Chain A
Amino acid sequence: MTVTTNKVVDIIRQVSDPEIPVLSVMDMGIVRDIKVDRDQVHVKITPTYSGCPAMDMIAVEIKAALQEEGYESTVELVLSPAWTTDWITENGRQKLEEYGIAAPLEESADKLALMGEERIVTCTNCGSKNTKMVSQFGSTACKALFRCNDCLEPFDYFKCLK
């Protein structure tokens, strides 16, 4: 990311992912570039999944947040390079877990977890590793649905995407 005025970054940091409200779009790694030219801001965002219905909403919210602080802005959607779960920040991963969504594992571990071959996804409720995948597809495109065999609570797992 290019060097920019911290103020603009702080404003954009206030915008959250509408489907995971605890997470800032900055922590999600959706914001790829911010350019400031006097009071005109140009922001590049990239979708997590092609069909992510939150993208339009996120673009509108970024514009609104900047406008409130007196910045005119344009938001551009870029597809390349494609988003990966590696771009979720450490802070973002922590917030995901606190919110009840298990953070993505490494790609190889993810495969084992989703094929149900190994118990490695930790329950966000009780911390047990005795968990089972219920469905590869969860409440949104980026999540899979798991259940804990110990506390019996269902929880989401953020799928690894690379």
Chain B
Amino acid sequence: MNNKVFDYLLLLGDSSMILGHRLSELCGHGPNLETDIALTNISLDLFGQVRNYFQYAAKLKGEEITEDKIAFLRYPNEYRNVLLVEQPNTDFAYIIARQFLFDAYHLPLMEALSNSQDETIAAVAHKSIKEVRYHHRFSSEWMKRLGDGTEESHQRMQDAVDYLWPYVGELFEETPLEAEMKEQGIGADLAALKKQYHENVKAVMEEASMQIPETPFSHSGGKKGIHSEHMGFILADLQYMQRAYPDMSW
């Protein structure tokens, strides 16, 4: 059972970690000071949550496993993050769309996991809710500001959502592991989250004068370890120090 929980912690942690990494790339590169600070603050929150997952995972595994080894020393096909979070920082509209489409999932996920039968997962999720609520508020406001802004900002925001929308389906694709965790009362029920998700997205998009794309196509693979071409570049960056100087620490 511990092995299953270990895998589930990686599934949860990886999406937050890769998104946190994407946002960390913006440190010093945000469109203005406030958004730069906001995005890197969100990144920091995500990394903090990831550390909580991975520290617990390392404890479950025992042996020589540490949080750093879990974070930095896996091969690309061993990461279980959804494809949405590895999509690049094309421009600010893409950054906001990616964030919003993830936050709208992350918030109800944390709310559901705060009732997990696993005490540590419940504690981590409970702690995260308050933070994720801020993330969700931030990304929703920018969706509205840009979607309902000028013709130019509206078009670019809509383009970004159109591009990223096919990555939404994967969030709710239940893997055998997630099904089992749900049965055990440890994991979340993705079908229940999906309903909440679409209601929230619809409300925000309507207020933002934007259209929900109708494309039926959905990318998938991240949760099974099959990633987009971006993943190798992300890991090259993320893992460099640990690969070049094994076991180094600050």
Contact = CB atoms under 8 A, between A and B. Distances in A.
Contact of A51 (B38, B46, B126): B46
B38 A50 contact: no
Contacts of A145: 34, 37
B124 A135 contact: no
A52 interface: yes
B127 A50 contact: yes
A82 B34 contact: no
A2 interface: no
Interface string A122-155: 0000000000001111111100010000000000
A136 B134 contact: yes
A49 B34 contact: no
Interface in A7-53: 47, 49-53
Contacts of B137: 114, 136
Contacts of B48: 47, 49-52
Contacts of A134: 34
Q: How large is the interface on A (under 10, 10 to 19, 20 to 34, 35 or more residues)?
A: 20 to 34
Nearest to A84: B130
B99 to A, nearest CB: 13
A145 B120 CA distance: 33
A114 B41 CA distance: 16
B56 to A, nearest CB: 9
A80 interface: yes
A82 B138 contact: no
Interface in A81-135: 82, 114, 134-135
Contact of B126 (A80, A138, A141): A80
A136 B38 contact: yes
B52 interface: yes
Contacts, number: 69
Given A50-B45, A51-B44, A79 B37 contact: no
B47 A51 contact: yes
Contacts of A140: 41
Contacts of B122: 80
A80 B121 CA distance: 11
Contacts of A137: 34, 37-38, 41-42, 134, 138
Interface string B99-136: 00000000000000000000110111011101100100
B119 to A, nearest CB: 8
Contacts of B130: 82, 161-162
A139 B131 contact: no
A50 B131 contact: yes
Contacts of B138: 136-137
Of listed A53, A138, A141, A159, residue having the most chain B CB within 10 A: A141
A79 B119 CA distance: 10
Interface of A: 47, 49-53, 79-80, 82, 114, 134-141, 145, 159, 161-162
9 contacts: A50-B45, A50-B124, A79-B124, A79-B126, A80-B126, A82-B123, A82-B130, A138-B37, A145-B34
Interface of B: 34-35, 37-38, 41-42, 44-49, 51-52, 119-120, 122-124, 126-128, 130-131, 134, 137-138
Top 3 A-B residue pairs of the complex, sorted by shortest distance between their CB atoms? A51-B48, A50-B48, A80-B123
